[in-house]
Structure 1
Amino acid sequence: MPTNPGLNRTRAVVAAVGIVLLPLLCCGLPLLIAAGALGAIGSVLGNP
């Protein structure tokens, strides 16, 4: 039996935020890194 129902709600909110951020970090971050690398390569090749 929980003694503090507010604590369970806080944990649920933290878990929900973690579930939302996990795909963004796993999928979005590599895409941003790849886009930055392609932009850098394009700028070097476009302006020798």
Structure 2
Amino acid sequence: MLGRAKNQYDSPNVTFMEMDAQNLTFSPESFDMVIANLILSVVPDPNHVFKK
């Protein structure tokens, strides 16, 4: 899916990254808001995602 997204939205202003939603490597101040539609249906421990 990342390959398809990169091909469809080829822009120097967009970066596509793959990482574990339960162990994100971003600093806490990286974003004002995050939208992750349907993410809870694909992680092993949905409650852990909200702990950070």
TM-score range, shorter chain: under 0.3
Higher relative contact order (CA 8 A, sep 6+): 2
TM-score, normalised to structure 2, is 0.19
Q: Greater Rg, structure 1 or structure 2?
A: 1
What TM-score comes out, normalization by structure 1 length? Answer: 0.20
- Whichever structure has more helix as a proportion of its residues is 1
